[in-house]
Amino acid sequence: MDNISVIVRSRNEEQHIGFCLQSITDFIGKPEIILVDNESKDDTIRIVNSFEYHDVKKLNITNNDYTPGKSLNMGISKASGDYVIILSAHCQITSLNLKELISKLEQDSVTAVWGKQIPIMHGKRIGRRYMWSNFKDKPQTNYFCKAEDRYFFHNAFSFFKTEVLRENPFDEKYAGKEDRYWAIDMINSGNNILYDSNSVVNHFYTKNGATWKGVG
């Protein structure tokens, strides 16, 4: 779709980036894809370059410059679509209805929508821990996480109007959970953030938790 830009953050994602890109084309078609890579040392870039969908814009961010918010803002600054989807490189889309998502984003006061994540490690679903209990089976508005004592929002699979992100960029000083802090600011300003349980990804994890630094 010409009006969609997908921003993918990556670092050493050779195991997952191909599945991530394929899922984008399977569920979205041929959107603009912007890869923001944090000095991958493995075959991530080679796999991206060999992917049959050739129009992947590649941006580089160094370790010295990197924060999660800065990498996202870099990708957003290059987005040409009316809508932005943020998708982590170790996520694979399994369910998505773009028309419904765009309809939700067009509602008054809605600034973002985030989707459901199924945590996977070594081919198996990870047992429940507090974070994964936040991904409910029913829609939510301005979901409050009791374990964190704050509003919860996860941008590993999330949807926005591009103009909203340009007017309200992610804070670049945080080493992680920039998504939560962004959501808190938006909600406290009178906006709504929706959780869509019908938009789903498999989120692949390693034994150490996240597959790259900065993802909580």
Distances (CA, A) of 20 to 6, 7, 57, 147, 156: 11, 11, 15, 30, 12
In eight-state DSSP terms, residue 13 is -
Cite the beta strand spans of the chain per DSSP E.
4-10, 32-37, 56-60, 83-88, 91-95, 110-121, 124-125, 140-141, 144-145, 150-151, 157-161, 192-205
Distance CA 31, CA 174 (A): 29
CATH number of 4-205: 3.90.550.10
pLDDT tens profile 8-47: 999 999 989 999 999 999 999 999 999 999 999 999 999 9
Longest dimension (CA), the chain: 45
**How is residue 62 written in tokens?**
């160094």
Per-residue pLDDT, 126: 57
Q: Is the pLDDT of residue 122 over 80?
A: no
Contacting residues for 189 by C-beta, under 8 A, at least 6 apart: none
More confident site: 89 or 129 = 89
More confident site: 1 or 95 = 95
User: With contact defined as beta carbons under 8 Å apart, do 8 and 89 qualify?
Assistant: yes
Q: Is the pLDDT of residue 179 over 90?
A: yes
The pLDDT mean for the chain works out to 89
Per-residue pLDDT, 131: 66
- How many CB atoms neighbour CB 25 within 10 A? 16
Q: Is the pLDDT of residue 161 over 80?
A: yes
Percent of the chain with pLDDT over 90: 77
Q: What is residue 173's three-state secondary structure?
A: coil
